[in-house]
């Protein structure tokens, strides 16, 4: 008698290894998408809202972790696909890092009452907009994986479209690097007027935002690897 499982991811893996990865990325995106609202509350000094949003981010990160763990547990040792098991595991790890960094930002703002220097507000708005743009592009890229699977990752309209998405992610990552350089210079120029501990945490927050960008680019590199094999 065949052993039945009630785990939905086990069924998904029998159809496509990308479906749980896509489900995971959707959860990750909802997590990262709360960051602008978190900063809006910070700008307005609404500590209760900061606490509420930070807790929502942590809950979503936990849900994403559960999807990742279930994926790893039920993933077959071998796949009859032009995609290596280790590459799929690497992809979902990069996705998970997006949510981890979002949660880390939330935890910083949850544990400390931070103030936003006026000199940083405009650059922060630009940075947050860019981080959301690259995360959305990464989500769209992952949503196309099933289409690539159907055409066998060969030359096709879908392949060209995904390659353009990857190129867009790289351009966005370079833009974010430039924004981070500018905002770090601004922070350095005013740090003597700020509480030293807050300065340290601001640099940490900027690092986490940069990590989200870097992981999105790493996801693009991983998908490009799928198409090159």
Query: Mean pLDDT over residues 3-19, rounded?
Result: 51
pLDDT tier, 78 (very low <50, low <70, confident <90, very high otherwise): low
Rounded to the nearest 5 degrees, what angle is found at the Cα of 54, between the Cα atoms of 48 and 56? Answer: 105
- Whole-angstrom distance, CA of residue 177 vs CA of residue 169: 12
Please give the pLDDT value at position 86: 83
Average pLDDT of the chain is 86
* Interval 86-129: pLDDT, tens: 888 899 999 999 999 999 999 999 998 898 988 898 899 999 99
Please give the pLDDT value at position 128: 97
pTM above the 0.85 mark?
Answer: yes
**What sections of 112-150 are H helices per DSSP?**
118-143, 145-150
Please give the pLDDT value at position 15: 57
Q: Residues 147-165, buried b or exposed e (16+ Cβ, 10 A)?
A: ebbeeebeeeebbeebeeb
44 burial via Cβ count (<10 Å: 0-12, 13-18, 19+): exposed
Query: Mean pLDDT over residues 151-178, rounded?
Result: 82
* Interval 19-32: pLDDT, tens: 899 999 999 999 99
Q: Which domains does the chain have, with CATH numbers?
A: 14-228 (1.20.58.220)
Bigger pLDDT: 154 vs 75: 75
Q: Which percentage of the chain shows pLDDT scores above 70?
A: 85
Instruction: Give the C-alpha distances (Å, rounded to integers) separating 226 from 50, 154, 167, 172.
Output: 39, 10, 15, 21
Q: How many helices (H) and strands (E) does the chain have?
A: 9, 0
């Amino acid at each position: 008698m065949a052993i039945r499982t009630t785990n939905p991811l086990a069924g998904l893996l029998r159809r496509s290894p990308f479906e749980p990865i896509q489900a995971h990325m959707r959860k990750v995106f909802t997590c990262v998408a709360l960051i602008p609202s978190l900063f809006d509350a910070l700008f307005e000094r609404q500590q209760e809202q900061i606490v509420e949003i930070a807790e929502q981010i942590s809950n979503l990160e936990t849900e994403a972790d559960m999807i990742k763990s279930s994926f790893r547990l039920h993933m077959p040792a071998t796949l009859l696909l032009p995609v290596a098991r280790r590459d799929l595991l690497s992809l979902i790890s990069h996705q998970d890092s997006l949510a981890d960094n979002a949660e880390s930002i939330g935890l910083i703002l949850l544990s400390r009452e931070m103030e936003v220097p006026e000199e940083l507000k405009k650059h922060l708005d630009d940075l947050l907009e860019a981080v959301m743009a690259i995360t959305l592009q990464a989500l769209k890229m992952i949503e196309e994986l099933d289409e690539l699977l159907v055409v066998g990752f060969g030359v096709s309209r879908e392949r060209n479209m995904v390659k353009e998405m990857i190129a867009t992610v790289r351009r966005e990552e370079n833009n974010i690097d430039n924004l981070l350089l500018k905002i770090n210079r601004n922070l350095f120029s005013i740090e003597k007027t700020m509480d030293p501990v807050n300065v340290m945490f601001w640099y940490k927050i900027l690092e986490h935002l940069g990590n989200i960008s870097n992981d999105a680019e790493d996801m693009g590199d991983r998908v490009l690897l799928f198409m090159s094999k």
